[in-house]
Amino acid sequence: MALRVLGLETSCDDTGAAILDDGRLIAHVVESQDVHVIYGGVVPELASRAHITLLPRVLETTLDRAGASLASIDAVAATIGPGLVGSLLVGLEFAKGLAMARGIPFVGVNHVEAHLVSPGLEHDLPYPFLGMVASGGHTEIYHVPRPGTARRLGSTRDDAAGEAFDKVGKLLGLPYPGGPHVDRLAREGNPAAFDFPVARLERGTLDVSMSGLKTAVKLHVEREPRPLSDRTVRDIAASAERAIVTALVERLEEALERFPSTALAISGGCACNTRLRDEAARIAGARGIPALVPSPAFCRDNGAMIAYAGWLSLERGETTPLTANAVPNLDSFPG
């Protein structure tokens, strides 16, 4: 009998719901919160309030698309952390209430773990694999020897890769979030136009650093005559993108040398970036292993990855007590 799992994601400013039947996605919906655009970043209190309004509607739409009802759900999974505490609590308490009312299992899902396994929504995910989660809040590299177990090999010392992309976009006057616009403009620019720095940390580390790059781009933009020409904007976008991706790829290449893997998995919002996807395919192909990258819809925060990670936990016989609370700084995979 197939296990039907409902997944809810409310860790930041995307409200997501999805339904899986025995690990197969049958419906998912994500709604973004446009209220944050005028502030140039996520406002935590506004995010949690928006989830309260959006979550019932997103769930209803997901059920309609799946041709399902709440009575047909066998288990419910929700993000328990990390994330914004107010946002987490909306989805978590909603999910626990549903599980309690229906008498069905509940699984609290680590948001980073869900991103890490999200390529499994569309690909066979072989073990052991090397995975990188790169987004606005996370830049981490993991070795995953088997389901439910991972070792963090490296992370950012300061800013996340997605934050760096968004900062570059803001400096160039692009709409928020800047990452997708930087990607689009970079395809038309010269990545060698400006020599932005790639941080080289101490020998042997798999950590990365983005703060120096952000500062370098800021100082360069301030020296450029105003208004910035279209060519300058495209070249700065391409050069900054090259530096960000180079920093990530250098660490991935070193990690693959040190930790043999049967696949390279890239996930999180930055996995939408064209250059990063191309570079991941290149370095994986050179080692004769696949590069597994989710479709863009599953790179952003979404309920499908939560439902999938929850289903994997249930397959291992793991559930979460209804007394569990949100953990904004959750870190279940220590380095």
User: From CA 174, how far away is CA 217, in angstroms rounded?
Assistant: 14
Which class is domain 126-293? alpha beta
Give the residue-averaged pLDDT of 55-78. Answer: 97
Categorize the per-residue pLDDT at 335 as very low, low, confident or very high, splitting at 50, 70 and 90.
very low
> What span, in angstroms and rounded, lies between the C-alpha atoms of 227 and 283?
39
pLDDT digits (tens, 9 = 90+) for 254-265: 999 999 999 999
Q: What is the pTM of this model?
A: 0.94
**What does the pLDDT average to over 294-317?**
96
DSSP H or E stretch at residue 146 = strand 139-146
Mean pLDDT of 25-47: 85
Q: Is the pLDDT of residue 333 over 70?
A: no
Q: Using the predicted structure, report yes or no on whether residue 40 has a pLDDT greater than 80.
A: no
Once rounded to an integer, what is the mean pLDDT over residues 38-67? Answer: 92
| Distance from C-alpha of 276 to C-alpha of 255, rounded to nearest angstrom | 16
Q: What average pLDDT does this structure show over 13-29?
A: 96
User: Kind and range of the H or E element at 101?
Assistant: helix 85-102
Q: Match 């719901």 to its residue by tokens.
A: 17
- What was the pLDDT predicted at 1? 53
**Domain spanning 4-116+298-315, CATH architecture:** 2-Layer Sandwich (3.30)
Is it the case that residue 334 has pLDDT exceeding 80? no
Confidence at 173, pLDDT banded by 50, 70, 90: very high
Q: Is the pLDDT confidence value at 132 over 60?
A: yes
How much is the average pLDDT of 40-52?
88
More confident residue, 329 or 33: 329
Same fold, 4-116+298-315 and 126-293: yes
Q: CA torsion, points 272, 278, 280, 286, in degrees to nearest 10?
A: 170
| 182: Cβ contacts below 8 Å, ≥ 6 apart | 165, 168, 169, 172, 174, 237, 240, 241
Q: What average pLDDT score do residues 248-253 get?
A: 97
In this predicted structure, the answer to whether residue 332 has a pLDDT above a threshold of 70 is no
List the chain domain ranges: 4-116+298-315, 126-293
d(CA 36, CA 211) in angstroms, rounded, equals 24
The tens digit of pLDDT for each residue in 135-147 reads 988 999 999 999 8
Using the predicted structure, report yes or no on whether residue 195 has a pLDDT greater than 90.
yes
What confidence tens digit (pLDDT) does each residue in 263-301 have? 999 999 999 999 999 999 999 999 999 999 999 999 999
Which residues are bridge partners to 20 per DSSP? 5, 25
- pLDDT number for residue 2: 74
pLDDT of residue 35: 75
Q: Work out the average pLDDT over 16-30.
A: 97
- What confidence tier does 200 reach under pLDDT thresholds 50, 70, 90? confident
| Token pair recorded at residue 120 | 């499994």
* Side chain identity at residue 206, one-letter code: L
Averaged pLDDT score across all residues of the chain: 94
Round to whole Å and give the CA distance between 268 and 48.
Answer: 21
